[in-house]
């Protein structure tokens, strides 16, 4: 099932140029599309840097959600990573990770309306 999240994807790398020493370049698979990330980034930041602001939609209302607290408290960044629901702001990227929308795989376990 294809994700219903509006990704605002732009194919533009929004990372600061030259100002930050980054980890090794890795590739992640997001809703079937290959994206570039760097070791040391969390999944939510890697997606934000690739232009994706919406991470999931709520189960009941279909409303888009993105990174909000960025400290693991709100669960707004919940996504499915390698078949497990995780807070993407707390999950470091790994080469070959498969990432998708929660609504595309199961019901919304975060209980958000």
Q: How far is the CB of 60 from ligand FES (least distance, A)?
A: 19
Residue whose pair of structure tokens reads 């709100």 in the numeric block: 74
Q: What residues make contact with ligand FES under the rule CB under 6 A?
A: 67-70, 72-77, 87, 89
Cβ proximity to ligand FES: between 34 and 71 the closer is 71
Identify the burial level of 60 via C-beta atoms within 10 angstroms of its C-beta, where 0-12 means exposed, 13-18 middle and 19 or more buried.
exposed
Cβ proximity to ligand FES: between 38 and 68 the closer is 68
The answer for residues whose C-beta is within 8 angstroms of residue 80's C-beta and 6 or more apart is 86, 99, 100, 101, 102, 104, 105, 106
Q: How far is the CB of 66 from ligand FES (least distance, A)?
A: 8
Q: Cα separation of 47 and 61, whole Å?
A: 23
Cβ proximity to ligand FES: between 25 and 63 the closer is 63
Q: How far is the CB of 47 from ligand FES (least distance, A)?
A: 12
């Amino acid at each position: 099932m294809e994700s219903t999240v509006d990704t605002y994807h732009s194919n533009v790398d929004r990372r600061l140029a030259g100002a930050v020493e980054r980890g090794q370049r890795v590739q992640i698979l997001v809703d079937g599309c290959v994206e570039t990330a760097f070791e040391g980034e969390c999944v939510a930041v890697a997606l934000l840097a690739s232009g994706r602001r919406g991470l999931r939609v709520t189960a009941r209302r279909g409303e888009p959600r993105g990174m909000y607290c960025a400290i693991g408290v709100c669960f707004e960044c919940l996504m499915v990573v390698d078949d497990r629901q995780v807070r993407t702001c707390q999950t470091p990227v790994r080469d070959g990770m498969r990432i998708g929308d929660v609504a595309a795989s199961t019901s919304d376990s975060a209980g958000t309306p």
